[in-house]
Structure 1
Amino acid sequence: MAFRHVVLGGGTGFIGKRLSKTLIANGYEVTTISRMPSVKSITWHDLEKDGLPEGTSAVVNLAGQNVLDPTRRWTPGFKQNVWNSRINTTAACVRAIEKATIKPSVFVSISGVSHYAGGPQINTEDTETVEFDFMSRLCHEWEKAANLSDNSICRSVKIRSGVVIGRDGGMIKSLILPFWLGLGGPIGDGRHDLPWIHIDDLCQLIKYAIEKPEVAGVLNGVAPQMITNLEFTKAFASALIRPAVFPLPEFVLNLIFGTERAVLLTKGAKVSPKRVQELGFQYQYPDIRSACKNVARMF
Structure 2
Amino acid sequence: MAKNVLIGGGTGFIGSRLSAHLGKQGYNVTVISRMPGLKRITWHDLEKNGVPKGTTAVVNLAGQNVLDPSRRWTEGFKQNVWNSRVNTSAALSKAITNSPEVKAFVNISGVSHYKPTERIYTENDKVEGFDYMSHLCLEWEKAATLSPEAAKHCRGTKIRSGVVIGREGGMIKSIWLPFQLGLGGPLGTGKQVLPWIHIEDLCRLIQHSIEDEKCENVLNGVAPEIVTNGEFSKTFASTLHRPCLCPVPEFVVETIFGKDRSSLLLTGAKIKPESTLQTGFKYNYPSAQEACKEVIRKL
Instruction: Say if 1:3 and 1:58, in contact at 8 Å, map to a contact too.
Output: no
Aligned to 2:185: 185
2:107 maps to 109
- Counterpart of 1:149, as a letter, is S
Measured after TM superposition, the shift of residue 150 of structure 1 is 1.7
Aligned equivalents of 2:154, 2:277: Cα separation in 1: 23
**Secondary structure of the equivalent of 1:33?**
strand
2:69–2:257 CA contact under 8 A, matched in 1: yes
- Matching residue of 2:91: 92
Q: Secondary structure at the match of 2:70?
A: coil
Q: What are the ranges of 5 or more consecutive residues in structure 1 without an aligned counterpart?
A: none
**Partner in structure 2 of residue 158 of structure 1:** 158
What secondary structure is seen at the aligned counterpart in 2 of 1:257?
Answer: helix
Cα deviation 1:108-166 (Å, max 9, x = unaligned): 00100101011110010001111000000000000000011123221100000000000
Which stretches in structure 2 are left out of the alignment for 5+ residues?
A: none
Count of residues in Structure 1 that have an aligned counterpart in Structure 2: 297
Partners of 1:86 and 1:178 lie apart in 2 by 31
SS at structure 1 position matched to 2:112 = helix
Contact kept in structure 2, 1:3 and 1:210, CA below 8 Å: no
Structure 2 distance, partners of 1:99, 1:215, is 22
Q: What is the match of residue 51 of structure 1?
A: 50
- Which runs of 4 or more aligned residues in structure 1 lie more than 6 Å from their structure 2 counterparts after TM superposition? none
Equivalent residue letter for 2:90: A
Task: Give the TM-score normalised by structure 2.
Answer: 0.98
User: Deviations 1:246-282 (Å, cap 9, x if unpaired)?
Assistant: 0100110100000101111111000100001111101
Q: What is the letter of the counterpart of residue 196 of structure 1?
A: W
- Structure 1 residues 192 and 3 mapped into 2: Cα distance closer, same or farther (>3 Å)? farther
1:264 alignment counterpart: 264
Structure 2 Cα separation of the partners of residues 266 and 296 of structure 1: 25
Residue number in structure 1 paired with 2:231: 231
Distance 2:126 2:215 in 1: 20
Give me the identity figure in percent: 60
In the alignment, which residue of structure 1 is the partner of 2:130? Answer: 132
Kindly indicate whether the alpha-carbon contact (under 8 Å) linking 1:3 and 1:211 is maintained by their aligned counterparts in 2: no
Distance 1:233 1:147 in 2: 36
Contact 2:185/2:244 (CA < 8 Å) preserved in 1? yes
What is the rounded CA distance, in whole Å, between the counterparts of 1:141 and 1:255 in structure 2?
27
